[in-house]
Amino acid sequence: MRRTPNERLGADSLAEGPEETTSGPERKCVLSGAHGARDTLVRLALAPDGAVAPDVRARAPGRGAWIGVDRQALDAANASGKLKGALVRAFKTAVTIPEDLGARVEAALRQAALDRLGLEARSGTLLTGSERIEAAARKGQVHLLIHAADSGADGRAKLDQAWRVGSGAERARQGLVFPAERTILSLALGRQNVVHVAIVDRAAAARVRQSIDRWRAFIGANERLIAASADSPDALACEVNEGQE
């Protein structure tokens, strides 16, 4: 049975001022009523003219409301008027919601994930190139392994095996399949032909994981992330489950 992002991640408060966007650890989804960590949800900001827009970085001034459902559920709620009713109650004022809000949220989450990878590349916390990644993985230096959506199965398996050997994991680790192809990864990192990415800093891996997880949850990526090791919670494995979340 397919699980919604609310069931996987939780959701946050109906409406709050700019100071509250960073003060509480949880928020409440205006559509599902489920609670969850603030960083797993998406904030919707209200402009002075009543227009609603995605605020995935939760930095826009004024009042905001939070959603913890995937795009399919958001689009359906927008089309039926359920989302408008929920936001009117949350903001206690009239609102204008674009018909393509779901597409705008998806694009914003995608860009946030790509921007995060770009920042880490400039900070020197990631590696590209299969040989460099394999060497680092076998030394136990890799905290997160990412494969482009169009990467080859053999290449993924080889690096996954190196990661498993280097980490001493009892079960096989699998790198996270990024929901975009190598051309997109290459542009984000400012490098050529990026097929695989390894994060070699623990804190950076957690940051990248959070941004990708939220994007994947919203688009309903058919993959389930699990902790690869209790001793290394930022290190991920990705299990592909056909037909279910």
4 pLDDT higher than 80:
no
Residues 135-163, mean pLDDT to the nearest whole number? 95
The pTM assigned to this predicted structure is 0.79
- Which pLDDT band holds residue 103 (cuts at 50, 70, 90)? very high
Residues 88-108, mean pLDDT to the nearest whole number? 97
Please give the CATH superfamily to which domain 5-99 belongs: YlxR-like (3.30.1230.10)
Extract the tokens encoding 181.
């192809």
Residue 31: predicted pLDDT: 96
What secondary structure, in 3-state letters, does 184-239 show?
HHHHHHCCCCCCEEEECCHHHHHHHHHHHHHHHHHHCCCEEEEECCCCCCCCEEEE
Q: What is the pLDDT of residues 57-95, one digit of tens each?
A: 999 998 899 999 999 999 999 999 999 999 999 999 999
Residues 7-22, mean pLDDT to the nearest whole number? 38
Q: Which of 33-42, 51-60, 223-232 has the lowest mean pLDDT?
A: 223-232
Residues 199-216, mean pLDDT to the nearest whole number? 94
Domain spans of the chain, in order of start: 5-99, 109-240
Instruction: Give the Cα separation of 208 and 234 in Å (integer).
Output: 10
* 109-240 shares the fold of 5-99: no
Q: What is the pLDDT of residues 44-61, one digit of tens each?
A: 999 999 999 999 999 999
7 pLDDT higher than 50:
no
**Residue 153 burial by Cβ neighbours in a 10 Å radius (0-12, 13-18, 19+):** exposed
Residue 242: predicted pLDDT: 26
Please give the CATH superfamily to which domain 109-240 belongs: Ribosomal protein L30/S12 (3.30.1330.30)
Q: Is 146 left (phi over 0), alpha (psi -120 to 50) or beta?
A: beta
Mean pLDDT, rounded, of the chain: 83
Residue 245: predicted pLDDT: 25
Q: Which long-range contacts (CB under 8 A, 24 or more apart) does 78-83 make?
A: 78/102, 82/31, 83/30, 83/31
Residue 173: predicted pLDDT: 74
Instruction: Give the Cα separation of 86 and 78 in Å (integer).
Output: 10
Please name which of 67, 7, 75 lies closest in space to residue 43, comparing C-alpha atoms.
Answer: 67
